[in-house]
Structure 1
């Protein structure tokens, strides 16, 4: 398509997503985001872009914090399990316990059994 000095007057819509993978939040804020803003300009006077980026960063931080908490709780459970000195439950008994628990949960959640009580 040949270039033109005339302004484009047609109808267009720009939809795009950019993902920046960076493990250092300070570097992301200090280097990558400003560089990207300089590259693409400031849409909507900068407000829309900044708001969306801040919201995305907050969501990312929440997810990272939740993941860290989950991993810490899993590590604690594994440590507790490894330090448990009780004898192991035989497989047949463990299966019977699980079946019994499932049966109990099914009874507890059965609307018909609630009406009888």
Structure 2
């Protein structure tokens, strides 16, 4: 196998409601839409150097219900303030908590059901 250089990892997630996804990430999580297709079948969102892409079901990606066995973990230096801003606007997986492994974190679900965890070093 030839060697290669991996330069970036950008999650590409499927959404069955692209407008709701754009609204959730831009209005609730303060991401910026940096690129999108005219028909809103694909978009790229960015915040502080983090990028995520979403696409509508198509011939290459067509999962009846978006699934992911893991979560997206976002490190932040303002986890308590972020929790206060989000706790009444989102579906909560678990509330703000300090963990033995040295993190203060919480988790929410986005409009698609993907698990988003936000954490800060203690």
TM-score interval w.r.t. the shorter chain?
under 0.3
The structure that is strand-richer by fraction is 2
Q: Which has the larger radius of gyration?
A: 1
Q: Which has the higher contact order (CA 8 A, sep 6+)?
A: 2
The structure that is helix-richer by fraction is 1
TM-score normalised by length of structure 1: 0.23
